[in-house]
Amino acid sequence: MSILKELRNIINPELILIDEELKNHTYTKLGGKADFFVTPSTVEEVQEIIRYANKTEVPFTLLGNGSNVIVRDGGIRGIVLSLKKFTGIKREGNKVIAESGARIIDASRFALKEHLTGLEFACGIPGTVGGALYMNAGAYGGEVKDCLESALVVDSTGDVHRLSADAFDLAYRTSNIAEKGYIVLEATFSLEIGDYHEVKAVMDDLTYKRESKQPLEYPSCGSVFKRPPGYFAGKLIQDSELQGKGVGGAEVSTKHAGFIVNKNNATATDYISVIEMVQREVKEKFGVDLEREVRILGED
């Protein structure tokens, strides 16, 4: 049976988009098409899709908010799964429980509204809760690892498990989620009672810092590189005099050297060429290997 027919047996056909432009689902506004862009609305549908993909070996890719990925110009074959319909956020005691497709920014704002402290660092990170766990996202001294208590995941056979935070090997911008093949369905953050005005003041300060230092007026995927031990990626790039240099429509931001912006209808090939140029020049000038934080998906 064709992939489309099988998918239509699992979820409402309206939730399956064919040849969907992924530039509409990525922060860099780059990338080709997904053969099937699927947005299930129940956990059972997610489980069935995974079981089907495993049984038939149809390629399968999970996308969150697309804020830390570059999709190549040839797009992504097979099924691209989005959990954007899973957006619930609730409080239980001093915990915030957020579904994986909710924005971590919204979880942070929810915590503020509930007078809870611990998620302030996430107030400007444009990813989903699932993507934030996958990346162990963090900013300004905080990261997911500091407050994650547990998460609900689907494994590669389609079974659901609740795992405690230490099961994910969270470390600087990394986890074992890809290796284990987990799909995060929900995360539980353990927070503390805070003072609304103090929590808000921290969030306002972080928002001000972000807006004044980052080129948020252009599409990008945030900081492209991880912080190399003993250095700052942005400073190395700045000192290599690469700001404003680019390929096609993509260039190293003049406002924040750690960002590469899609300034003028760049292709993914342009963007990836700029990444490689930066890695080459920094290695040549300072002997430092810049490791990508951003993930590259799909084919040329």
| Shortest CB 284 distance to ligand FAD, Å | 27
Residue among 40 and 130 whose Cβ is closer to ligand FAD: 130
| Shortest CB 216 distance to ligand FAD, Å | 6
Residue among 171 and 280 whose Cβ is closer to ligand FAD: 171
| Shortest CB 11 distance to ligand FAD, Å | 17
Q: Which residue has the tokens 């300060």?
A: 205
Residue among 177 and 290 whose Cβ is closer to ligand FAD: 177
Q: Which residues are known to be catalytic?
A: 173, 223, 293
Compute, in degrees rounded to 10, the torsion defined by CA atoms 208, 211, 214, 217: 180
- Residues near ligand FAD, by CB under 6 A: 27, 62-69, 83, 100, 125-128, 130-132, 134-135, 137-139, 177, 182-184, 214, 216, 220-222, 295
- Please report the sign of the dihedral spanned by the C-alpha atoms of residue 285, residue 289, residue 295, residue 297: positive
CA distance 133 to 197: 27
Name the region of 68 (left: φ>0; alpha: ψ -120 to 50; beta: rest).
Answer: alpha
| Shortest CB 124 distance to ligand FAD, Å | 6
| Geometric angle at alpha carbon 222, from 217 and 226, rounded to 5° | 155
Q: Which residues contact 220 (CB under 8 A, 6 or more apart)?
A: 27, 28, 253, 259, 260, 261, 262
Residue among 221 and 233 whose Cβ is closer to ligand FAD: 221
